[in-house]
Amino acid sequence: MAKHALVVMSESGEANPAGQARMLHALKAAKELKDAGQDVTLWFHGIGVIWLAAFAARDDPFTRNYGPLFDELRDNLGGACEFCAAKRFGSAAGAETLGVRVAGGPDEHHTVAPLLMEGFQVVVF
């Protein structure tokens, strides 16, 4: 069985339909892979960590509508870049609320290198 790591690096927000589309495609792909019995994990890097705060708050139409799909994938959330979530984009509280682990350390970015070394096929959204 293949191992898939889907990495969200898209920006959230109502004024960003392109970022919403990438997030939706990441969620849908993760759900389809999960339903097919594949090993799939979702990661949040760069500005993509902002989605964690958005899904924790659910205060916009997108996250309210797709919140149930996000919740179906809670067991497949691999983690978030600690530097990006805590220091760069202020999403650490959202990660904590959702129970998403942060990785990489407070002074360095988590990269896809460990995922590749563990045999994951990485797709970035």
Instruction: Reply yes or no on whether the pLDDT at 125 is more than 90.
Output: yes
| CA 20 vs CA 27, 64, 119: distances in Å | 11, 13, 28
Compute how many other C-beta atoms are within 10 angstroms of the C-beta atom of residue 15: 8
Q: Distance from CA of residue 83 to its chain's centroid? A: 15
- Say how far apart CA 80 and CA 96 lie, in whole Å: 11
Model pLDDT for residues 61-106, shown as the tens digit of each residue: 999 999 999 999 999 999 999 999 999 999 999 999 999 999 998 8
pTM of the full structure: 0.95
Take residue 57 and report the two structure tokens written for it. 């708050």
Q: Say whether pLDDT at 13 is over 90.
A: no
Residue 11 in this model has a pLDDT that exceeds 90? yes
